[in-house]
């Protein structure tokens, strides 16, 4: 069952988001978000030198720079424990709903997302937290849902890790309850395989109508189906532009079968310098200082536990360079050329990280953004 909102078609949902100025529904061909700035080492499992640190002051500075540059989103990684290795990758991290609330107060236009492992949080609580941040931000909140792929992390919360398909059945019930909490004026009753909800009620309702922007990174068949039914954007993994094109087309085809459309987001780090020689030197240094132990563990874990990364699980270098995403590497001109190729392949936005978020985000604004505007990727 597709849950949009009572009495609201998908076209009306999109129209409502556009009318209220939701940034992720603007007219930029290539939307931009800062990804992973709430966790130690960000997206790069490396000891390469950086001014990046996990402090609130530094986090706020990153968000304010991105806000000033016109980025659409701040997107966190949800972590409760590190990945191990020499770096204990992402082992220090900020919880993401409170992180988003803090950044909502520190910014003006950029959307602030929470990333939530749905098995770790009751949907009534998550719905209420999300509405609160939506009000703090004046309608700039978004929710990125994950089904909880990291077994050691999920077991921190008691019980055992559900098998893959059951996670998406659980997630479907979870988001159905949350959507009803956001849109219905009467008490919500729900009885399913995983939840038995009695007369649940939440007020106020979200500022965004009918509810906050929803994202999921499902790339497995079950994940693609979940995104097509329930979400606004699918956060896909791809090894190259050709795979991006194929995946984007497949995702949209599934969404169209539900009489919906779906935005497609990619992710990866940007490694960019003025010359190819400087860029290659930085790339080589990042890999030389890489935490190869954690790269092996993470690639194995994502491939075997999430069901979403089979085609890239052997590419441990990709995890050093950015959590298995698609790294954009080159001069400013080459970065824009790569962005244009992804846009042409059907990618609507890239959620990006950097080795040094503050310094390189400012460089990106000075050297890359103007070229993106010239290319028609940004207004």
Q: What is the pLDDT of residues 197-208, one digit of tens each?
A: 999 999 999 999
pLDDT for res 301: 54
CA distances from 180 to 119, 185, 223, 359 (A): 18, 9, 21, 43
Where do the domains of the chain lie, and which CATH numbers do they carry? 10-374 (3.20.20.30)
pLDDT of residue 8: 63
The backbone torsions φ and ψ at residue 156, rounded to the nearest 5 degrees and listed phi first, read: -60, -25
The Cα 232–Cα 110 span in angstroms is 17
| Strand, helix or coil for residue 310 | coil
239 within 8 A of 7, measured Cβ to Cβ: no
Backbone dihedral region for residue 88 (phi beyond 0: left; psi -120 to 50: alpha; all else: beta): left
Q: 304: which residues sit within 8 A by CB, 6+ positions away?
A: 313
Average pLDDT over residues 38-53: 95
CA-CA distance, 156 to 42, in Å (whole number)?
22
Q: Taking 50 as the threshold, does the pLDDT of residue 10 lie above it?
A: yes
- Given pLDDT bands bounded at 50, 70 and 90, which one contains residue 104? very high
Is residue 5 predicted with pLDDT exceeding 50? yes
Could you report the per-residue pLDDT of 131-172, keeping only the tens digit for each? 999 999 999 999 999 987 777 777 787 767 788 888 999 999
pLDDT in the model for residue 310: 47
pLDDT on residue 125 = 97
């Amino acid at each position: 069952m597709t849950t949009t909102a009572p009495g609201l078609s998908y076209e009306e949902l999109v129209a409502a988001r556009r009318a209220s100025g939701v940034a992720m529904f603007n007219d930029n061909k290539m939307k931009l978000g800062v990804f992973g700035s709430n966790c130690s080492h960000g997206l790069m499992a490396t000891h390469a030198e950086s001014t990046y640190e996990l402090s609130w002051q530094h986090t706020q500075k990153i968000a304010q720079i991105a806000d000033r540059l016109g980025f659409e989103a701040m997107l966190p990684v949800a972590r409760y424990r590190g990945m191990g290795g020499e770096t204990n990758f992402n082992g220090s991290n900020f919880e993401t709903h409170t992180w988003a609330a803090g950044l909502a107060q520190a910014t003006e236009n950029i959307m602030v997302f929470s990333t939530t492992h749905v098995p770790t949080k009751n949907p009534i609580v998550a719905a209420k937290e999300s509405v609160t941040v939506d009000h703090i931000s004046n309608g700039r909140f978004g929710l990125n849902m994950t089904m909880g792929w990291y077994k050691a992390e999920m077991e921190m919360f008691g019980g055992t890790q559900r098998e893959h398909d059951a996670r998406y059945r659980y997630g479907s019930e979870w988001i159905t309850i949350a959507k009803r909490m956001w849109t219905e004026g009467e008490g919500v009753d729900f009885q399913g395989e995983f939840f038995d909800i009695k007369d649940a009620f939440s007020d106020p309702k979200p500022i965004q109508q009918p509810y906050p922007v929803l994202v999921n990174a499902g790339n497995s068949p079950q994940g693609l189906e979940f995104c097509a039914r329930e979400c606004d954007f699918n956060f896909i993994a791809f090894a190259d532009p050709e795979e991006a094109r194929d995946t984007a087309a497949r995702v949209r085809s599934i969404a169209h079968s539900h009489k919906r459309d779906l935005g497609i987001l990619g992710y990866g780090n940007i490694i960019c310098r003025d010359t190819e020689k400087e860029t290659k030197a930085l790339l080589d240094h990042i890999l030389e200082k890489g935490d190869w132990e954690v790269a092996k563990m993470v690639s194995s874990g994502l491939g075997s536990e999430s069901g979403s990364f089979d085609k890239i699980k052997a590419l441990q270098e990709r995890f050093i360079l950015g959590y298995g995403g698609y790294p954009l590497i080159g001069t400013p001109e080459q970065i824009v050329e790569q962005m244009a190729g992804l846009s042409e392949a059907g990618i609507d936005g890239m959620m990006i990280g950097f080795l040094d978020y503050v310094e390189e985000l400012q460089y990106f604004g000075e050297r890359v953004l103007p070229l993106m505007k010239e290319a028609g990727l940004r207004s």
